[in-house]
Amino acid sequence: MDVAIIDYYANHGTSFLHKAKALWKVVFTALVIASIILTNEFYMLLGIYITLVTIAVWTRLPVSRIITIAAYPAIFALIFAFAMWNGSWLKAGVIILKALTAALTMVLLIVTTPYPDVFNVLRPFLPRVIAEGLFVTYRSVFILLELTDELIKSLKVRGGLTRRKYIRNIRNFSSGIGLLLVKGFDYSEKFYGMMNVRGYSGRITTQGTKTSINRNDVLAIALGLLIFAITISTVIEKRFLEFGVYILACSAIALVISSIYQQFQN
């Protein structure tokens, strides 16, 4: 997980998904996640995954990087699939695909939407302390990442992290975390002081969530609705599962065409 890179992607993209409003992208994400929860069909999940990869191609961001970021949960899904192993590769595949597809959906949201915009959408549903904690955490992550980079560099330069000296490495690394914690605490006190000077009275004000719709929003919602409608139709009427292979083929073709088109565009 590279928080800084994800933040860069979210703030510097120019695709339709970047231009769509956070609220409608959250709706798109909710529809896709609901589809993943509802279906247990391997081909449907594979179809959704390929469709999401196609959307990732449309974002004009490095697709392989996005897929790698979203592949992290697969390690743990493998453990779960192993525990549920009953000789069926399809069942194991369903668990792994559910992890990969859900992760890719979430990653697509955050690589195209700055975090504060996502928090703004969630804000009405969360208690004030949590909503504000989310904003402050987001800000603090970047400061700590910078401090961590400096810390690891200085530990390496001063011989604090050397090969085969595991106990010493753990001790130095732990002291480093302790240092980050103390620095972070000092920083939080300064931060609180600064916020007070700027008129903080227990509430961080934001721009609010825009609900108007433009064509980018419509496209995001339409894609979410399309995925959800196809999934729900196969859940309600099992006969539609016969078309699973065609759905898979269509999504694969869309991916190939989109990739070729993007290659020419670049």
Partner 1 sequence: MSHLHIPDGVLPGWLVMAGWILTALILAFSIYRTRSTELKRKVPLIGIISALMIVCMTIPIVPIAYHINLSVIAGIILGPAVAFISIFIVNLIIAMFGHGGITVVGLNTVVVGAEAFIGFYLFQLFLTIMGRDSIMWSSGLAAVIALIISTSILVGVVYLSRIDPETVIGIEGGHPTEVATETNIPSQLTKGINIKSFAKTILILLGIGWLLEGIITAFVIKYVSRVRPDLILPQRA
Which residue in the set 38, 155, 232, 250 belongs to the binding site for partner 1 (CB under 8 A)?
Answer: 38
Q: Which is nearer to partner 1, 33 or 252 (CB)?
A: 33
Q: Does 182 help bind partner 1 (rule: CB under 8 A)?
A: yes
Which residue in the set 8, 11, 84, 156 belongs to the binding site for partner 1 (CB under 8 A)?
Answer: 84
DSSP string, the chain: --HHHHHHHHHH--SHHHHS-HHHHHHHHHHHHHHHHH---HHHHHHHHHHHHHHHHHTTS-HHHHHHHHTTHHHHHHHHHHHT-SS-HHHHHHHHHHHHHHHHHHHHHHHHS-HHHHHHHHGGGS-HHHHHHHHHHHHHHHHHHHHHHHHHHHHHHTTSS-TT-HHHHHHHHHHHHHHHHHHHHHHHHHHHHHHHHTT-SS------------HHHHHHHHHHHHHHHHHHHHHH-GGGGGGHHHHHHHHHHHHHHHHHHHHHH-
Q: How many residues contact partner 1, by CB under 8 A? A: 76
Q: Does 93 help bind partner 1 (rule: CB under 8 A)?
A: no
Q: Does 61 help bind partner 1 (rule: CB under 8 A)?
A: no
Q: Does 144 help bind partner 1 (rule: CB under 8 A)?
A: yes
Q: Does 109 help bind partner 1 (rule: CB under 8 A)?
A: yes
Closest distance between partner 1 and the C-beta of residue 122, in Å?
A: 8
Closest distance between partner 1 and the C-beta of residue 22, in Å?
A: 12
Which residue in the set 80, 161, 213, 258 belongs to the binding site for partner 1 (CB under 8 A)?
Answer: 80
Q: Does 247 help bind partner 1 (rule: CB under 8 A)?
A: no
Q: Does 27 help bind partner 1 (rule: CB under 8 A)?
A: no
Which residue in the set 14, 86, 205, 212 belongs to the binding site for partner 1 (CB under 8 A)?
Answer: 86
Site for partner 1 in 197-226 (CB under 8 A): 200-202
